[in-house]
Structure 1
Amino acid sequence: MDFKPLIEARYSVRKYKPEILSDELLNEVLDAGRMAPTAVNKQPFVFVVVNDPDKLKQLHEAYSRDWFSQVLQVIVICGDHKTAWKRSVDGKDHTDIDLAIATDHMTLRATELELGTCWVCNFDPAKVSKTLNLPGHLEPAVLLPIGRPEEVEAPPKRRKTLSEMVVFNGY
C-alpha cells in the first residue's frame, strides 16, 4: 500500500472480531515499533503484550469503556525515562516523543496488515503498572488494543485544513 492511502485508511477501531492474532501478525506490528526512530537511538520503550483474560480484565478496570472490555489483545507501550535522551540545553525528556513515533509505526503497520488499533491514553497508569507488575522506571503511556476490526470501512475523518495549521517562516 502506498503511504498516503495507508494513513488515510487508518482509524481508531472500537469493535473487534473475537479472535486472537497469530504470533506472526503480532510480531509484524511489534517489529514496526522496534524499528521506529528515537532520539539518539536510545529506544526508551518496552512493549508489553497482554492477552491473558485475567490481566485483560484488570486493564479494563484501568480504562472502563464498554468497547474496551471486549478487546482480547492489548499492547501496553511503556516508556523508560531513565534511558531516554534528554536535551542538554533544557533537560527536555524525549520519552513521550519516541513512544509516539513507535506507536504510530505500529498503528500504520497494523493498518497495512488489515488490522485495527485504537490509541488509548486516558487510563489509570497506577492500575496498569500494578496489573503488569511494572518496575518503577517504566511508565505505561499507551494502551493499544489490536485485532481484526468488525467494520472495515473507515469513518470520515475530521481534520483541520492545512491553512489552519501551517505558518511559514514564523508568526
Structure 2
Amino acid sequence: MTVLDIIEKRYSVRGYEDRPVEDEKLQQVLKAAQLAPTGVNSQAFKIYVIDTKKHEQKLREVYDNDWFVEAPIVLAVVSKANDAWTRPWDLENLNEIDATIVMDHMILTATELGLGTCYIGAFHERPLIELLDLSEEYHPVLLTPLGYPDAKPRETTRKSIEELVEYI
C-alpha cells in the first residue's frame, strides 16, 4: 500500500468496536509520532495515551459524543510553545503546526494498521487539562480516538485540484 493509498483510505471514524488495540500496533502509532518532523527538530510535544474506560466520565466533559468514548484509547497531543521553534523574522511559534504534523503521522499509521481515528480540535480544553494534569507550559492541541472502526465513511466531497492549486 502506498502513502497515497493510505491517505485515500483514511476517514473520520465515528463508531468503534469494543475491542482492545494491540500494544504492538499502539507502539507503531507512537513511533510514527516520534519520527514526525518538527521545526528544527524541537519535538516540543507530548502524547498522552488515555484509557477510555478508566476515564470515560472526564472524557465526556472534554468531548461529549458516544462514539468518542467507544474507542479503547484516546490520544492527546499537547505542545510546549516555549520549546518549539519560533521564526525570528515574524515571531510565529510553530508549536501547533508541529503538533498537527505529529497527529497526522499517527493517524496515517493507524489507518495503515487497520485502526480508526478522527481528528478532534473542537474539544473543551479545561477538563482535558485537568485530566492530564498539565502544567501551564503545555497546551492541548488535538485529540483522536484510536480503535477498530465500527462505522462506515460518510459521503464527503472534495474540491478539484484546479480549485486548490495555483501555478505561478
> Do the aligned residues in 2 keep the contact of 1:115 with 1:148 (CA within 8 Å)?
yes
**Structure 1 contact 56–72 (Cα < 8 Å) conserved:** no
Aligned ranges for residues 4-19 of structure 1 at < 5 Å? 4-19=4-19
Gaps of 5+ in 2: none
Identify the residue that residue 125 of structure 2 maps to in structure 1.
125
Q: Matched residues in 2 for 1:123 and 1:82: separation?
A: 23
Q: In the alignment, what sits opposite 2:100?
A: 100
1:148-171, CA deviations, whole angstroms, 9 ceiling, x for partnerless residues?
1114x54444111111111122xx
Distance 2:52 2:14 in 1: 20
Alpha-carbon deviation of 1:122? 0.5
The Cα of 1:53 is off from its aligned counterpart by 2.7
Question: Distance between the aligned counterparts of 2:84 and 2:100, measured in 1?
Answer: 13
Asked whether the 8 Å contact 1:78–1:142 carries over to 2, the reply is yes
Runs (4+) of structure 1 moved beyond 6 Å?
Answer: none
Where does 1:39-58 land on structure 2 (aligned, <5 Å)? 39-51=39-51, 53-58=53-58
Give the secondary-structure state (helix, strand or coil) at the position aligned to 1:116: coil
Map residues 22-171 of structure 1 onto 2, 5 A cutoff.
22-51=22-51, 53-151=53-151, 154-169=153-168
**Aligned positions, number:** 168
**Separation in 2 of the partners of 1:52 and 1:103?**
18
Distance in 2 between residues matched to 1:92 and 1:105, nearest whole Å: 23
Deviations 1:119-148 (A, max 9, x none): 101111111001111111111111110001
The alpha-carbon deviation at position 10 of structure 1 amounts to 0.3
1:46-78 residue CA offsets vs partner (Å, 9 max, x unmatched): 000000534232012111123223232101111
- Normalising by structure 1, report the TM-score: 0.93
> Would the aligned equivalents of 1:57 and 1:69 in 2 still touch at CA under 8 Å?
no
Q: How far apart are the structure 1 equivalents of 2:31 and 2:64?
A: 29
- Aligned with 1:168: secondary structure? coil
Q: Deviations over 1:102-126 (max 9, x none)?
A: 1111111001001000010111111
Question: What is the TM-score of this pair, normalised by structure 2?
Answer: 0.94
Taking only aligned residues, the RMSD between alpha carbons, in angstroms, comes to 1.4
Q: Is the 8 Å Cα contact of residues 50 and 56 (structure 1) preserved in structure 2? A: no
How far off is 1:34 after superposition?
1.0
Distance 1:168 1:130 in 2: 47
Structure 1: gaps spanning 5 or more residues:
none
Looking at structure 1, the residues matched to 52 and 11 of structure 2 have their Cα atoms a distance apart, in angstroms, of 26
Distance 1:156 1:148 in 2: 20
* Matched position secondary structure for 1:46: strand
